[in-house]
Amino acid sequence: MSLMLPFSIKPICDKWYEFFLIEHIVLALSTLTLLFYHVTVYGTDYNGWSWGCVAVWVFDRFIRIIRVQALSFKAVAGNNAVMVATGGEKGLIRLTVTSSIRHIPKPGQHYYIYTPMSITPWENHTFTIGSWEVDKSSTTLHFLMGTKDGATRRMRKMVNKAISGQADLRVLVEGPYGHTSSVYRFEKVLFIAGGSGITAALPYLHDLVSRRSIGKCVTKKVTLVWVVKNSDYATDVLSKELSLSHSPEGLDIDIQIHVTSNTGVTTPLIEEAESHALAYNHPFPLPSPTVEKSLPSSSSKSSLKETLLIGRPEMRAVLQTSILKLVGFETLAVLACGPGNMMDDMRATIVDAYGTGEGKKVKRILEGRSKGSLFITYEMLNFWLLEHEFD
């Protein structure tokens, strides 16, 4: 049982997930078995408690199997997923899975993905849902993944080998798990995403648009700041999840794409911006060359603006800009998801702001742990820090 603790630390989970999964199951089974030997000196007095532990573990495994079968039973008949790669070797992988039954996910939730036809069918990997479409009998799930070592690298190799650039495969899905945050209760919302961290923001953005269109949202302004390495990385999402034609009445949407490299022209907006870009070598640049694209909105009381900037944004400036725009008792929700260094900068910014300037009105801080992402609600009288788990 004690061995589970050192083998569950974050570096092992991130770099050797398969090892973590197998040893965790083996050690759990070993612990349950050894419990019976440990209490033999007391006869059968503690057998009931031991069997209770076994029952809980078996019930958990049983429910997970049922969830997999419920969402994926049609996969027995053939392939139920399509996978394509975008943005070069380091770009995003888009995995589209059709579930066997109709269900409606919520923003912030994640699924476990199994590939039963691979050489490691027992493996499962966690991915946050990026977007989805629901029809009468099924739900189409879209996952956006960054290419790293391990499973995602194998997925990209599979796509590269496909003649058409599109790999058809059979996957099993388990979920959804996780909770959603009520960002629609805040007048202003700031999303900060780095690379594949955009999957954390997209469902919330569309949820706000949907709620505002039916009057179930108090949010008036949404700002999305997305930092990508190259323009190719953002093209697929810009043409799909972020291809909003308008914003609903009373909701202003400001989408800012920060490209840290001025190579790879793929969209008119990015092409125009890069034609004006200057060489950039400073980690926290001065105001970057920008190109703004204002899209038509359904009302003069709402707007949708896309802005492209060349260079890496400074987290301190991004957060302070949003905080200083709060009027009266307006509230601000901030959801950030990205690489560890980027999130460390955001946390440091929050710590520095605490107790100074507007931070003097901070009364409470709640903090959790996760994989390089955080959720903040900044109210003029309260400041909450609660981290979410995204990939």
pLDDT digits (tens, 9 = 90+) for 334-364: 888 888 888 888 888 877 766 565 554 443 3
- Per-residue tens of pLDDT for the chain, all 391 residues: 788 888 888 788 877 877 888 888 899 899 999 988 888 888 888 889 999 999 999 999 999 999 999 999 999 999 999 999 887 677 789 999 999 999 999 999 999 999 998 888 878 888 999 999 999 999 999 999 887 777 888 888 888 888 888 999 999 999 999 988 888 998 999 999 998 899 999 999 999 999 999 999 999 999 999 999 887 778 888 888 888 766 788 899 999 999 987 554 444 444 443 333 332 223 333 334 444 444 444 344 556 787 888 888 998 899 888 888 888 878 888 888 888 888 888 888 877 766 565 554 443 333 333 344 555 554 443 333 333 334 4
| Same-domain pairing of 216 and 152 | no
- 386 assigned to some structural domain: no
Place of tokens 């089974």: 29
Judge if 194 and 334 occupy the same domain: yes
**166/192 same-domain check:** no
What does the DSSP 8-state code read for residue 5?
T
The answer as to whether 298 is a domain residue is no
CB contact set of 171 (below 8 Å; sequence gap of 6+): 72, 75, 80, 81, 95, 97, 113, 114, 115, 116
Domain count, the chain: 3
Would 199 be classed as within a structural domain?
Answer: yes
Residue 25 lies in a domain: yes
Looking from the CA of 290 toward its CB, the CA atoms found within 13 Å total 17
Q: Are residues 244 and 325 in the same domain?
A: yes
Chosen domain end from 177, 205, 227:
177
For residue range 244-269, list pLDDT tens digits in order.
Answer: 766 788 899 999 999 987 554 444 44
Same domain for 231 and 133: no
Q: What is the DSSP string of 46-94?
A: THHHHHHHHHHHHHHHHHHHHHHHHHHGGGGGS--EEEEE-SSTTSEEE
Which long-range contacts link 240-246 to residues 24+ away (Cβ below 8 Å)? 240/131, 241/130, 241/131, 241/142, 241/202, 241/206, 242/202, 242/306, 244/209, 244/295, 244/304, 245/295, 245/296, 246/295, 246/296, 246/297, 246/298, 246/302, 246/304
Mark whether 119 and 203 lie in a shared domain: no
Instruction: Give the C-alpha separation, 391 to 13, whole Å.
Output: 12
Domain interval for residue 33: 7-70
Record the tokens describing residue 190, joined without a space.
């700031």
- Indicate if 216 and 141 belong to the same structural domain: no
For residues 169 and 97, state if they share a domain: yes
Do 332 and 242 share a structural domain? yes
Question: Do 150 and 107 lie in a common domain?
Answer: yes
Domain contains 79: yes
Same domain, 151 and 236: no
Quick one: 156 and 50 in the same domain?
A: no
pTM of the model: 0.79
The domain boundary, picked from 155, 177, 199, lies at 177
Contacts of 167 (CB under 8 A, 6+ apart): 82, 83, 84, 155, 158, 159, 161
CATH number, domain with residue 223:
3.40.50.80
Radius of gyration of the chain (CA): 23
